[in-house]
Amino acid sequence: MNFKHAWQSQLSYILLSVGYFALGKLLTSFAFQDQVLPIWLPAGIGLVGMFIWGWRFIPGLGVASAAFNWTTAHGWSVSTLSIANVVEVGIIASGAILQALIGGYLLRAWLGHPLHLKSRLHIAYFIGLIGIAINLVSANIGVFALSFYHPEYSFANHWNNMLAWWLGDSLGVLIATPALLILLQPWFANSEKLNNVASTFSACLVLCLSVALTTFLYNQSNIKSANLNAKREVQIIENIVYRYINQSMLAIQALASQLQAREAFTQQEFEEIALYLKSQYTFLRALSWNEQISSEQRSQLNQQLAALYGDDVKIKGEPIQPNDPLVVVKYIVPLNGNAGALGFNVFSKESRRQAIINASSKTEPQASDIVYLVQDSRPAPSYLLFSPVFAQTPSGQERTIKGYATAVVQVETLLAEALKQAQAQLFNVAFYDVSNNGIFYKNFGPEQLIDEDNKKVVTLFVAGQKWRMELSVKEEYASRLNQQLTLMLLILQLSITALIVYILLLFNYQHHALNTLVEQRTRSLAKAKQQSDRANQAKSRFLANMSHEIRTPLNAVIGFASLASSSHNNRELRDYIKKIGSASKTLLNLVNDILDIAKIESNRLQIDEHPFDLQALLSRIDTMFSSSAQSKNIVWQVVHNLPGPTWVLGDEMRLEQILINLCSNAIKFTQRGSVIFDVEAQYGTKQVDLIFSVTDTGIGIESEKQQTIFNAFSQADNSTSRRYGGTGLGLAIAKELSELMGGKLSLKSEVAQGSSFTLTISLLNASAQSKQIEHVDTSQIHCLRVLVAEDNPVNQLVIKAMLSSFDIQHTVVTNGQQAIEAVKSEEFDVVLMDCQMPIMDGYQATAAIRQFKGVDELPIVALTADVMPEDKAHAIAIGFNRHLAKPLERDKLAVCLANYC
């Protein structure tokens, strides 16, 4: 593609390069999760750039693509510059370059301008190959680079990511390419005019907006649906978390019930009960028996602890209030890892003191706030559950608390099992202790956060404590859900867009084709009108020439006939009659020429091939024109290289007709100098290649008119017919006859220097034929009785005069019906039947006669002006014996009748 001015090319190059980057940044701001773009218009910019400039657009596209990918992944800072990051950006840019380069090359070398495609098939190739298939190049290379270098991508999702990239590129190419070419069209030089510019550009713009808007709305609908689904999932998670918390309360209640049923129990009995419960509930970090004593009983319990665990274990933790009892950890399971808790006064911690007070007042398990067990290698969040155990007292007395069954519930284990059962892996979940607003459990890593805009908050009441559960749908889950649905939408949109673009390009192609066809038809009509005008002028000249040509011999016929009627001199009469005969033959030749051209134009002229002697033909032509040339004082010469009689297979009459026409014209248009008729024969095994040349020194023909003289009714100029005569049919007939015989007629001529007509033809060799001279005895025809059926009075007089000159008895009737009656009533030797008569024509009459008179019984000769070959064949098929053409000659009539003597 070339621009009108160099500055337009340079400015377009810069605009497309910058537009790739700017449009990419604009579209990225509307990207969905995982950078899913509904339409990537820069792919169309790259294709158009490669189509216009070819490989010269590689630097612009490479820089634009690299800049876009770098700023999108790493921002405007160069602090993250590294070889890996540069390679990643370079690979993605190379994919965009390779894709655009392939598409641009196919357009430049094969399909052509997308808005001037040559056929419907080319439009389909552009849509399917350039617009869709080739975009797999950049998609696969780009996603491979991201999967290899970018942590948010993985090879497991290669095909989904590639599909999203490919669909966006395909939509961008199909929509942006026509629109950009329309915008740049005014700057292109020598470009075809675009059709439907406004409608095509508007359709591309509407397609772009509709794809983006539809995808955005659809994505929003998907997000709304995902949020509704998340709301249901949150309720499920809440219920399951509550169920697991209740299980922890059931566990401690079961322990308390077991201890309540025993007035006293040993360490071993406690361990048996605790180990069984711990095996049932994996989230139980430890179970303990916390015995409640007064300050006075402190030494006694110390002794018991020392007896159980050694002197190192003593009560520790002073009461907060002077009157507070001591709640001391006496037994704990498992002991390993929890021995440090033995002897600990739980009542010494305010949060635990309050939980114990609540448990005793409500007589049900109560929880402490979240505590972190320091005995673990990593402080693990837990909470303590206290369930009161009452001493057995006589009925009617107030019950006293003996101690508290205590459970250390490991939060991570409990919540992990609860969230696993609730299938909460789709959510980022965090639990907070409301008392200190500190997070004590989450199921996501440090690189992820709760989405503050879309989070769900649930308050949980855990045995007297309040927790806050915050949830938000994980970004990868929302992305995956939306991406799948969005990809399905993009596939549908790509199909619709491809169909619409195909229709637009097809409409543009048909409009262009229609305009081209109209222009061609207009030119054809103009050319046809010119040809028609020239033909009308030629026919007008022909009619004028023909009028002159016919009137000239007709004037001689009429003039000499009038002179003969007034003359009594026999010598003068014979001279007048001779001249009348010559003029009549001239008229007959004119009519024959007209018939020949009519048969040629209707493709009914047939070539009759038979053996003939070429040397004899040349001798006849020499004899025919030698006297004419001598009378004009010009040299006439026949030159040939024939060794002797040369027999060939061909149409002797038509070949002679061509040569006579060429020689006649040469002599007619030559006033001085010579006419040379040259024949060159090249003998082969099966054929003879002949070159007939007729060269004269006459007036010559102008070069621009040398082709027109072979057209019917044409001569070199209007003055030719006035000066030399002629109808303008001879050369047209000669050319058509030469082509029918497989030859070629050509011309070389210079004005005032002369002309040379050359006929080149090949004829098959033929064996020599013995010459048979037909001798017909006409002396006995006076014995014949002839019936003549003729309606024209003048023709009746002519035929009667001819028959009378032979002393033949004849009867004349005027129609076919009378001829039938005459044949029935009288005996005749021959019937001369005109074919065109009133009442009943000759064909009908002959058919009727043949019903009772056979061909051998009564000869019937067709006497008619119908001389076409098909007319003769029709006459023989009806039942005629022979055919005599009008105008009738006396000698031919005599020969015909002599066959029936």
* Plot region of 773 (φ>0 → left; ψ -120 to 50 → alpha; else → beta): beta
Collapse the DSSP code of 83 into the 3-class scheme (helix H, G, I; strand E, B; otherwise coil) and give the result: helix
Distance CA 674, CA 660 (A): 16
pLDDT at 713 over 60: no
Tokens (6 digits) for 442 = 């989450």
Range of lowest pLDDT (320-329, 594-603, 604-613, 874-883): 594-603
Distance CA 31, CA 27 (A): 7
Phi, psi of 154 (to 5 degrees): -145, 155
Distance CA 822, CA 845 (A): 11
pLDDT at 683 over 60: yes
Distance CA 141, CA 890 (A): 101
Tokens (6 digits) for 70 = 């770098």
- Closest to 27 (Cα-Cα) out of 15, 39, 18, 19: 39
Distance CA 600, CA 596 (A): 6
CB atoms within 10 A of CB 808: 20
- Cβ atoms of 881 and 851 within 8 Å: the answer is no
Band the pLDDT of 378: cuts 50, 70, 90: low
- pLDDT at 895 (0 to 100): 87
- pLDDT at 758 (0 to 100): 94
Q: For 844-871, how does the pLDDT look when each residue is reduced to its tens digit (9 = 90+)?
A: 999 999 999 998 899 999 988 766 667 7
pLDDT at 719 over 50: no
According to DSSP, the β-strands at 438-442 and 882-885 are unpaired
Distance CA 726, CA 541 (A): 11
Cα–Cα distance list, 614 to 159, 647, 681 (Å): 86, 6, 10
| Arithmetic mean of pLDDT, 131-156 | 86
Tokens (6 digits) for 725 = 């005569």
- pLDDT at 727 (0 to 100): 57
The string over 157-187, giving b where at least 16 C-beta atoms fall within 10 Å of a residue's C-beta and e elsewhere, is beebbbbbbbbbbbbbbbbbbbbbbbebeeb
Distance CA 430, CA 424 (A): 11
- Give 780 or 828, the one with higher predicted confidence: 828
- pLDDT at 598 (0 to 100): 65
- pLDDT at 852 (0 to 100): 92
Could you tell me how many helices (H) and strands (E) the chain has, helices first? 23, 22
Band the pLDDT of 773: cuts 50, 70, 90: very low
- Closest to 366 (Cα-Cα) out of 379, 375, 357: 357
- Cβ atoms of 131 and 39 within 8 Å: the answer is no
Q: For 384-443, how does the pLDDT look when each residue is reduced to its tens digit (9 = 90+)?
A: 999 999 887 776 567 788 999 999 999 888 888 888 887 777 788 899 988 887 888 888
Band the pLDDT of 30: cuts 50, 70, 90: low
| Arithmetic mean of pLDDT, 31-42 | 68
Please report which helix (H) or strand (E) contains residue 662, including its range: helix 652-668
The fraction of the chain above a pLDDT of 70, given in percent, is 89
Mean pLDDT of the chain: 85
Distance CA 186, CA 33 (A): 40
Band the pLDDT of 721: cuts 50, 70, 90: very low
- pLDDT at 822 (0 to 100): 94
- pLDDT at 490 (0 to 100): 82
Collapse the DSSP code of 333 into the 3-class scheme (helix H, G, I; strand E, B; otherwise coil) and give the result: strand
Distance CA 829, CA 857 (A): 9
- Closest to 421 (Cα-Cα) out of 652, 199, 247: 247
pLDDT at 604 over 70: no
- pLDDT at 476 (0 to 100): 62
- Cβ atoms of 833 and 790 within 8 Å: the answer is no
Please report which helix (H) or strand (E) contains residue 404, including its range: strand 401-410
pLDDT at 376 over 60: no
Tokens (6 digits) for 846 = 């002959």
Distance CA 72, CA 66 (A): 10
Q: For 520-562, how does the pLDDT look when each residue is reduced to its tens digit (9 = 90+)?
A: 888 888 888 888 887 777 676 666 666 656 666 676 677 777 7
Distance CA 64, CA 22 (A): 9
Range of lowest pLDDT (72-86, 145-159, 684-698): 145-159
Give one DSSP letter per residue of 665-708, joined into a string: HHHHT-SSSEEEEEEEEEE-SSEEEEEEEEEE-SS---GGGTTG
- Give 821 or 871, the one with higher predicted confidence: 821
According to DSSP, the β-strands at 456-462 and 882-885 are unpaired
- Cβ atoms of 754 and 696 within 8 Å: the answer is yes
- Cβ atoms of 791 and 838 within 8 Å: the answer is yes
